[in-house]
Amino acid sequence: MTGRAEQGGPETVRPSRSGARQASPGRIRLKRAGMMALRTLGSLAVTFLGLLIITFLIGRVLPIDPVLAAVGDRAPADVYDRVYHEMGLHLPLYQQFFDYVMRVFQGDFGTSVLTSRPVLDDIVRVFPATLELATIATILGVLLGVPMGVLAAVHRGRWPDHCVRVLGLFGYSLPVFWLGLVGLLLFYMKLDWVGGPGRLDAAMEDFFEPVTGLILVDALLQGDMEVFRNAVSHITLPAALLAYFSLAYIARMTRSFMLEQLAQEYVLTARVKGVSEARVIWRHALGNVMVPLITVIALSYAHLLEGSVLTETVFAWPGLGSYITSSLLNADMNAVLGGTIIVGGVFIGINLLSDLLYRLFDPRARR
């Protein structure tokens, strides 16, 4: 018996107890998801901390005295010294930064010199106007820009391609303020097709009380169709203008992505197998384009949300861009830095949203 065992007889392999303790596939997936969430949160925290460092240094480097902006040039020396100490400017730089971070996490961006109200309250008041304008412009830009980009790629070198490229070239070349002024002159003053500057007529602003700050939504919730129609007439022109510039960018990038996909072998294989041309283009090619296109749309939306300064200035649109611009011109650094942090937070949030959408459209990202 012993000799046969020593000569390499068959042995019974027993299952290892350690193998029984191996984690189930569900636990492995859960652990991986948790690690991914921790990495994402860590990346967001580092990015936001970098944003706070930059805004803090900007507030210290700019040749603007925040004390003079608060008390004025003719304030006596004792008042200047008192406000100087109240702002904590006598503390070491690292202590000022720590206090600054703590205030930001508490939602305290300071008080606006221009409005004498907390900066956060001002931003909450003006941001819905920019949100409403940017959202409508982005929706129009996507609904028109993506099909135009696909059309240009499919008909490469022919007249649809040339038309889309020329349209996009004008979108990149024409100055925003000039196009806005021409639009007001033609469609508002001459033809009277749209409303003028502002979000509503002056007579309606005194009688309409917004709830969410989104006038179109509030008018529908309150059932006030007269205000709704008036708000639509006012937002049509600035939204169309921003949608045109968003459309030009999205159409150009869609065309570029589609040209790359239409040259792939899987497209040729699908055509050889007899798959319809519409299915090849709109299902297979465009489906693979959606992942990089999400980034393009997200960045376009973020740029509009940061406040289209020239557009809001031309149309007297009371949004975030106008607020930051007027604050900068009046040396209101609390408002400028608070608005900058909000803009940076918008970019971070939209990038996070685009990462989540990647997993929805790309199975490889889910794995």
Q: Return the pLDDT at 365.
A: 56
Reported pTM: 0.80
Q: 181, 361, 215, 204: which is closest to 288 by C-alpha?
A: 361
Q: Is the dihedral of CA 231, 232, 236, 239 positive or negative?
A: positive
Strand partners, 111: 118
Residue 59, H or E segment: helix 25-61
Q: What 8-state DSSP symbol labels residue 223?
A: T
120-172 residue pLDDT tens: 999 999 999 999 999 999 999 999 999 999 999 999 889 988 998 898 888 87
313-336 residue pLDDT tens: 889 898 888 888 888 888 788 888
Q: 278, 299, 271: which is closest to 147 by C-alpha?
A: 278
Q: Return the SS3 of 64.
A: coil
CATH numeric code, 125-141+172-248+273-366:
1.10.3720
Domains of the chain, residue spans: 52-106, 125-141+172-248+273-366
**8: pLDDT strictly greater than 50:** no
Residue 21's pLDDT band (cuts 50, 70, 90): low
Strand partners, 289: none
Of the ranges 51-55, 96-100, 335-339, 357-361, which one carries the lowest mean pLDDT score?
Answer: 357-361
